[in-house]
């Protein structure tokens, strides 16, 4: 049966690869772009769009951020003060805040509004949800069975494994693969909220530091000329943080484990560790291949409602959907039931982030306006590497970390009088550290700030919310939005980040 599934997966992947040239040829016949000159023209269109956004950012005041603050406060407060109402109506609340921004925005900036809204949904939200859905669906078909006792050592090992694989199958993929084994290993434990919090810290965020596959900001850097393997240079910073956090996890878990005084389990029948649905690992590799393909191959673009869409990105999204549907088709129903799999976590993320992406438009536009926008004072004080680390990280805790990364990436280039082409050529030549050492210091700070500090809040990175949702579905009372920050991220992560500031910056 396993061999049958294996060959079916290979057949689907080969079929899709064969069809890709046919699709591309059809698109070419519809005046799409293949030549280098056409690709450069597409980049020019994109640059015009970026300039258009900067111009809008210069016009907007900070008052436009109120709907964004409103949806964040709703996520933070409603689960505390009206949990049943929130659980039933959170999609409507997200929609209300989205409309509270979109309607006045259209009335007062009708020449920009439609373009900006379509731009963020076509180029950011839809690919974001497609990737999350694909990773969530495929990893939900991988069931790790066997006897796992949730001792401090076992829990540290589970989270360490998730941290290691996060850079290679993405923080979402690693979180979805490892969260359920962690929950099953500790199903008899009374105190386990701390385990989920450290899981969010390490597997859903910090573990994705070493490759562009790990976290969206690093993939964005890859698209803008950063070498695929350069991010391995972030290993020293990641290593220090991981060692500190795993050490704290072991101390906390040992304390709670002794406090519970659990009965011995030596007489319990033990079963060996085994994996069901292992063919889904091939599908995860298929998703990874699609992401790498979209970042390395340029197949031209076409316009839809004035938004320039890259053909390779469309093919990537179609490919990911195909991988997810293949997983649904081939995975046994019993395997997903054994995982406690359901669609609520991904639906919750989809509904809430639909509102967040809408209301975040003015915040990103103001940031992109740089010293000409309403946050000019903040932008002007960012000069040293540790400034980039803390400002990029703090904003990434509450905004989308990918555009925040890109904003300060471009800011660093401008500060040093460099162009993206110079950086790209230096990476290709392998002498980036020798030619532009100051830029590398800034890039390091921006990269780890965007990735590490996504762990500061539930909305800092999409897997955070998914882990929270899965834990609550399993009956674990996770802390509120502010509770997570006050009890865990501020007292644990902020001192850790201060330590690495002194060590590395």
pLDDT at 264: 60
Among candidates 280, 336, 291, which has minimal Cα distance to 315?
291
H helix runs in 331-436, sequence order: 333-338, 344-359, 361-368, 376-380, 385-396, 401-416, 420-429, 432-435
CA distance 144 to 381: 49
Which two structure tokens, joined as six digits, stand for 112? 């920009």
Residue 15 confidence (pLDDT) = 42
Choose the weakest-confidence range: 24-33, 43-52, 221-230, 475-484.
24-33
| Residue 277 CB-half CA count within 13 A | 27
Q: How does pLDDT run across 199-222, given as a tens digit for each residue?
A: 999 999 999 999 887 887 887 788
Q: What is the pLDDT at residue 29?
A: 41
Q: Which long-range contacts (CB under 8 A, 24 or more apart) does 310-317 make?
A: 310/42, 311/24, 311/27, 311/32, 313/127, 315/20, 315/23, 315/24, 315/290, 316/127, 316/290, 316/291, 317/126, 317/127, 317/130
Beta strands 143-145; 274-276: pairing state: antiparallel
Alpha helices in 456-493 (DSSP H): 462-473, 481-484
Residue 350 parent element (H or E)? helix 344-359
The pLDDT value recorded for residue 393 is 93
- CB count in 10 Å sphere of residue 248: 15
* Cα–Cα separations (whole angstroms), residue 44 to 51, 222, 291, 300: 10, 19, 23, 12
The Cα–Cα gap between 164 and 203 comes to 8
CA neighbor of 30 nearest in space, from 234, 215, 290, 300: 300
Q: What is the pLDDT of residues 349-362, one digit of tens each?
A: 889 889 988 998 88
β strands within 99-181, DSSP E = 143-145
pTM above 0.85, yes or no: no
| Total residues found in the chain within this entry | 505
């Amino acid at each position: 049966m396993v061999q049958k599934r294996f060959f079916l997966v290979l057949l689907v992947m080969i079929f899709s690869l064969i069809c890709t040239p046919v699709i591309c040829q059809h698109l070419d016949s519809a005046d799409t772009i293949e030549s280098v000159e056409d690709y450069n023209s597409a980049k020019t269109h994109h640059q015009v769009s970026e300039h258009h956004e900067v111009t809008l950012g210069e016009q907007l005041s900070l008052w436009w951020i109120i709907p964004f603050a409103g949806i964040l406060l709703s996520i933070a407060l409603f689960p505390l003060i009206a949990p049943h109402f929130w659980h039933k109506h959170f999609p409507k609340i997200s929609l209300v805040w989205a409309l509270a921004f979109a309607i006045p925005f259209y009335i007062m900036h009708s020449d920009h509004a439609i373009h900006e809204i379509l731009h963020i949904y076509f180029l950011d939200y839809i690919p974001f949800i497609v990737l999350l859905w694909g990773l969530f669906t495929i990893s939900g078909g991988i069931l790790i069975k066997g006897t796992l006792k949730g001792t401090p050592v076992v829990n540290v090992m589970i989270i360490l494994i998730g941290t290691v694989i996060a850079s290679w199958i993405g923080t979402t993929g690693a979180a979805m693969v490892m969260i359920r084994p962690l929950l099953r290993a500790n199903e008899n434990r009374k105190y386990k909220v701390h385990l989920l919090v450290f899981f969010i810290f390490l597997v859903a965020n910090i573990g994705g530091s070493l490759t562009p596959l790990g976290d969206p900001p690093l993939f964005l850097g890859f698209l803008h000329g950063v070498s695929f393997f350069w991010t391995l240079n972030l290993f020293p910073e990641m290593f220090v943080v991981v060692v500190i956090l795993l050490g704290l996890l072991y101390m906390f878990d040992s304390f709670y484990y002794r406090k519970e005084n659990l009965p011995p389990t030596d007489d319990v029948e033990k079963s060996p560790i085994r994996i069901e649905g292992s063919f889904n690992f091939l599908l995860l590799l298929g998703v990874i291949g699609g992401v790498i393909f979209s970042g390395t191959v340029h197949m031209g673009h076409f316009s839809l409602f004035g938004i320039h869409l890259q053909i390779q990105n469309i093919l990537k999204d179609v490919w990911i959907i195909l991988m997810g549907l293949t997983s649904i088709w081939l995975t046994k129903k019993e395997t997903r039931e054994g995982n406690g799999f359901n669609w609520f976590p991904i639906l919750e993320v989809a509904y809430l982030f639909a509102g967040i992406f809408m209301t975040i438009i003015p915040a990103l536009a103001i940031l992109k306006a740089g010293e000409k926008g309403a946050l000019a004072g903040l932008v002007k004080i960012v000069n040293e590497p540790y400034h980039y680390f803390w400002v990029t990280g703090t904003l990434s805790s509450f905004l989308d970390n990918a555009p925040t990364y890109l904003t300060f990436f471009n800011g660093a280039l401008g500060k040093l009088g460099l162009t993206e082409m110079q950086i790209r050529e230096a990476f290709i030549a392998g002498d980036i550290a020798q030619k532009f050492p100051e830029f590398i210091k800034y890039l390091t700070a921006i990269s780890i700030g965007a990735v590490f500090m996504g762990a500061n809040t539930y909305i800092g990175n999409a897997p955070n919310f998914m882990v929270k949702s899965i834990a609550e579905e399993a009956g674990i009372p996770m802390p509120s939005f502010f509770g997570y920050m006050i009890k865990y991220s501020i007292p644990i992560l902020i001192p850790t980040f201060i330590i690495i500031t002194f060590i590395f910056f």
